[in-house]
Structure 1
Amino acid sequence: MKKLGNILYVTTPEAYLSLDGENVVVKRDDTTAMRLPLHNLENIVCFNYPGVSPALMGACAERNIGLCFLRPNGRFLARVTGRQKGNLLLRKKQYELSQCESACASIATSMVLGKIANCRTVINRAIRDHALLVDVSELRATSDFLKQMLQSVQAGATVETLRGLEGNAASRYFRVFGQLVLHQREAFAFEARTRRPPQDNMNALLSFLYTLLTYEVASALETVGLDPYVGFLHADRPGRPSLALDMMEELRPVLADRLALSLVNRKQISGKGFTQKESGGVLMDDRTRKEVLVAWQKRKQEEILHPFLKERIPFGLLPHVQASLLARYVRGDLDAYPPFFWN
């Protein structure tokens, strides 16, 4: 089983990263602020402006250390990769399946089932744990609707139909998502999912977490030998990691949505950490971003019992485990792709 490695998040805008022997050096104003051994790192995520030295980029590529650049608002900018990795035969099979409508529908069905089931679990947990603070009747109606959607998805459909069912389920889920905000309701009021740019504090938080998750899923897919840009549910577009977006659907409610709600309800972050620009978009400040990243890393350390493997694993390994299961299905070792169902 793969071990959960360390991730270096560089949030200081003025920081510059370079290579010194087998160490990554973080400098600020020509002063060394940090020095870390490369062998301790799995990924480096940069929010800084000066960037990274070519030598460090090359070292990360050679050692299979992920290197990702995000804008200060959390928007994806670029990823650095080295020589093409992965099993050629596995990728050829992936490309072959991506051209087959029935194969795409089979994989997409599993992923959509996972997403809807996990969204329903988020709602059911709120009913169970906070019945006095939420509109139980509305949440139960939404839970029942999602249950019906699961039956519709299982009935068998084309990829296009599955996209429609997934969109309807997501719309209904986000219609009641604001009720799950139990504290700081004024600062984190949520009416609908908005993006590019997010129009309120909660949407800004969700978008930031979704970006982190997309990057980690894409890295996991590459690690097991799959091409993260060739998907089965999301349509292929130049520069879009369609397969990573496919797989993150079932993981978003578990890893991102629940964490966002916990950060707000436990008052680990506040509305003061967000600023609305003249354009209407909302940005997260540096201090809040650091709080979110710390909580993200802690969340990944928590263990769960994987329903398919029947093994206890850290949350942070879920992208890798699901990527491995998908690779096994593509190779023909499994009869179907088993999505992650959160209990």
Structure 2
Amino acid sequence: MKQTKYLFNAGRMSRKDNTLKFTPVDEAGHEGQPRYLPIEQVSDLYVFGSLDANSALYNFLGKEGIAVHFFDYYEHYTGSFMPREYLLAGKMQVEQTRYYLSPKKRIAIARTFVEGAACNILRVLKYYNNRQKDLETAVATVEQLLASVPTAPDVPALMGLEGNIRQTYYSCFDAIVGETFCLDGRSKRPPQNELNALISFGNMLCYTACLSMIYHTQLNPTISFLHEPGARRYSLALDMAEIFKPILVDRLIFRMVNKRQLQASDFRVEVGGCVMKEAARKRFLEEFDAALKETIKHRSLGRSVSYRHLIKLECYKLQKHLLGIEEYKPFKAWW
């Protein structure tokens, strides 16, 4: 069974027959014991350390359909090596572009992304409100903003509503995590404190998970509807991630912080920002990977599916909408 592999150490990767060979290299240039990854066990690679590789390796990865996602020192996503889009289809490309170019069709899809995100945010807020966190005012505010989504006249106005929903949501984080950490407003690139570092890191993981699932469909990841398509980014993954961040990332952050799995000693404050220490980063990744593999009983399918598969199903639903087969309705958590 293929799995996501995470590389934290600096090193060199090469092809050894049909196996990936990774040789760690320390700061002094000394090589460690090589590790071997059978290619049939790898779905994609997340690289957090310096990786030395040549074109022969990337040719091999491309032929095997394996993506490589890169992160910098502050755990920011910096880019991906994506294999050739072997599933892209002309008709799908034409329809996706047509929907983007039509203001009426684009705003209809964009509204559903915000609707899905807001409903999942409300699910999280109501869960903690029922556990004596006193979030009634925030719940009412988000519900009021959500009621305005269907009448948002254009994408900029919709993005404004989405921003207000997020701002209200983030204002509740301090109450949810207690006295362990303080958000003190959302800050990015680099994050200024521990909670912001967790949010940024988790959001990037969710974004790359969505990108990987989009790659395995006929959708073009560069043509989006809520976020404006731009150079050097896969903006459709940003659209999809909005729906899944509250249930995949934020729930995980709250659980790990409230259970003391992450504490102030797991972070390092430097000039210009705050970063997670390597042990904490590995711990968070292990939990995130476990969350993606966790299964729920799907209401429509009548069987258990993983969260990772839920993301792929969301892509398929969008495909059907663009092809005029079935109206797209965003995923909304019911638990």
Given the two structures, how large is their TM-score scaled by the length of structure 2? Answer: 0.93
Tell me: CA distance 1:55–1:300, structure 2 relative to 1, closer, same or farther (3 Å): same
Alignment of 1:13-24 (within 5 A): 14-24=10-20
Tell me: CA distance 1:216–1:51, structure 2 relative to 1, closer, same or farther (3 Å): farther
Residue 203 of structure 1 deviates from its aligned partner by 0.6
Q: Aligned residue for 1:170?
A: 166
Residue 15 of structure 1 deviates from its aligned partner by 2.2
Summarize deviations over 1:149-181 as a string: whole Å, max 9, x none. Answer: 221112353222211111111111111121110
Matched, 1:27 2:23: yes
Residue 310 of structure 1 deviates from its aligned partner by 4.4
Distance 1:101 1:308 in 2: 31
Distance 1:298 1:238 in 2: 33
- Tell me if structure 2 keeps the 8 A contact 1:307–1:341: no
Residue 308 of structure 1 deviates from its aligned partner by 4.8
Equivalent residue in structure 2 for 1:161, among 152, 157, 162: 157
Matched, 1:7 2:4: yes
Q: List runs of 5+ in structure 2 lacking aligned partners.
A: 26-30
Q: Aligned residue for 1:323?
A: 315
Residue 18 of structure 1 deviates from its aligned partner by 1.4
Q: Aligned residue for 2:109?
A: 107
Distance 2:301 2:110 in 1: 21
Q: Percent identity?
A: 25
Matched, 1:122 2:114: no
- Tell me if structure 1 keeps the 8 A contact 2:66–2:83: no
SS at match of 1:224: coil
Tell me: CA distance 1:69–1:124, structure 2 relative to 1, closer, same or farther (3 Å): same
Distance 2:230 2:147 in 1: 30
Distance 1:313 1:157 in 2: 36
Tell me: CA distance 1:307–1:196, structure 2 relative to 1, closer, same or farther (3 Å): farther
The answer to which of 20-29 and 108-117 deviates more is 20-29
Q: Aligned residue for 1:57?
A: 58
Tell me: CA distance 1:70–1:51, structure 2 relative to 1, closer, same or farther (3 Å): farther
Given the two structures, how large is their TM-score scaled by the length of structure 1? Answer: 0.91
Q: Aligned residue for 1:151?
A: 147
Equivalent residue in structure 1 for 2:208, among 215, 228, 231: 215
Tell me: CA distance 1:165–1:308, structure 2 relative to 1, closer, same or farther (3 Å): farther
Alignment of 1:188-337 (within 5 A): 188-279=181-272, 281-334=273-326, 336-337=327-328
- Tell me if structure 2 keeps the 8 A contact 1:214–1:244: yes
Over 6 Å off, 4+ runs: none
Tell me: CA distance 1:311–1:165, structure 2 relative to 1, closer, same or farther (3 Å): farther
Q: List runs of 5+ in structure 1 lacking aligned partners.
A: none
Matched, 1:338 2:313: no
SS at match of 1:249: helix
Summarize deviations over 1:30-73 as a string: whole Å, max 9, x none. Answer: 34432111111111111121333322211211111111111132
